Amino acid sequence: MTLMQLYQSLRDLYGYRGWWPGETTAEIVIGAILTQNVNWKNVEKAINNLKKNDLLTFEEIHRSPVERIAQLIIPTRYYNQKAMKLKNFADFLHDKYDLSFDQMFARDGATLRKQLLQIKGIGRETADSILLYAGDKLQFVSDAYTARLLGRLGFITEKLDYDELVAFITQQIPQDVDLYKDMHAQIVHFSALVCKAKPLCEGCVFGANCVGFISSTDAHG
Ligand code: SF4
């Protein structure tokens, strides 16, 4: 099986995922910052709180005290740290790009990635989600789900760091922004539903090809 066959199987299962959820660029960026280590339902609650309080823009986040933001994003856990990350991003956008996403995304992807990674609290997965989903930049997003799935399916046999895993994947698939968006979305969806920490291998579409297959007898025995 190739990586494109893996993607096609997931797409046949779930259809085009249409990621990332969010009506505005700011909402996509806020979601990318808040989603670390928490499920999406909790992120939605926090985003709704911000929306109800007119805080779903970086102009408002930049103006607001960090304590007020933290109170509204409590459902996302680590809310004090995440409120600080939102403030740090708002300061960056204000200081470097006059709070304009158009100006920010006019930068080439590689330069912008370096800048985003200098913001305190913004890691590679978050930076790459912002670049790909908010900025339509050709930057693949990886995560722990991706490493686990590709390991179980036998694509990778040794531990790769984040950038090595991104390079491993992008060398084998067409360079296409929509493909990058949907492939990450499919992997996350499948990993959350089926190939979980305790995988549901019985009936999995990859069962016959998967070196990580665990039968329910093995799981209980
Ligand atoms: S067979 Fe099991 S381990 Fe392999 S991809 Fe499917 S759910 Fe994951």
**Tens digit of each residue's pLDDT (9 = 90 or more) over 95-119:** 999 999 999 999 999 999 999 999 9
Q: Which amino acid makes up residue 95?
A: D
- The conformational region for residue 107 under phi > 0 = left, psi -120 to 50 = alpha, else beta, is beta
| Cβ pair 53, 102 in contact under 8 A | no
What CA–CA distance (Å, rounded) separates 59 from 55? Answer: 8
Identify the CA nearest to 189 among candidates 30, 25, 18, 48: 18
Ligand 1 pocket, residues with Cβ under 6 angstroms:
152-153, 194-195, 199-201, 204, 206-207, 210, 212-213
Q: How far apart are the first and last CA of the chain?
A: 30
In this predicted structure, what is the pLDDT of residue 221? 41
Q: Which amino acid makes up residue 58?
A: F
How far is the centre of ligand 1, averaged over its atoms, from the C-alpha of 211 (Å)?
8
In this predicted structure, what is the pLDDT of residue 209? 78
How far is the centre of ligand 1, averaged over its atoms, from the C-alpha of 198 (Å)?
9
**Tens digit of each residue's pLDDT (9 = 90 or more) over 78-89:** 999 999 999 999
DSSP 178-199: HHHHHHHHHHHHHHHHTS-SS-
Cis peptide before 40 (omega within 30 of 0): no
What CA–CA distance (Å, rounded) separates 73 from 76? Answer: 6
How far is the centre of ligand 1, averaged over its atoms, from the C-alpha of 151 (Å)?
10
Task: HSE, CB side, 13 Å, CA atoms: give it for residue 120.
Answer: 7
Q: What is the pLDDT along the chain (221 residues), one digit of tens a residue?
A: 999 999 999 999 999 999 998 999 999 999 999 998 898 999 999 999 999 999 999 999 999 999 999 999 999 999 999 999 999 999 999 999 999 999 999 999 999 999 999 999 999 999 999 999 999 999 999 999 999 999 999 999 999 999 999 999 999 999 999 999 999 999 999 999 999 999 999 989 998 879 988 886 665 54
Q: Give the rounded distance of the alpha carbon of 107 from its chain centre.
A: 21
| Cβ pair 204, 194 in contact under 8 A | yes
- Which domains does the chain carry? 3-17+142-209 (1.10.1670.10), 25-134 (1.10.340.30)
| Cβ pair 25, 134 in contact under 8 A | yes
How far is the centre of ligand 1, averaged over its atoms, from the C-alpha of 146 (Å)?
13
Q: Which amino acid makes up residue 4?
A: M
What CA–CA distance (Å, rounded) separates 67 from 111? Answer: 32
With H, G, I as helix, E, B as strand and everything else as coil, classify residue 109.
helix
If one residue of 189, 190, 204, 215 were mutated to test the ligand 1 pocket, choosing by the most ligand atoms within 8 A of its CB, it would be 204
Q: Which residues contact 104 (CB under 8 A, 6 or more apart)?
A: 93, 96, 97, 112, 135
Task: HSE, CB side, 13 Å, CA atoms: give it for residue 110.
Answer: 0
Ligand 1 atom closest to Cα of residue 210: 4
**Tens digit of each residue's pLDDT (9 = 90 or more) over 124-136:** 999 999 999 999 9
How far is the centre of ligand 1, averaged over its atoms, from the C-alpha of 24 (Å)?
35
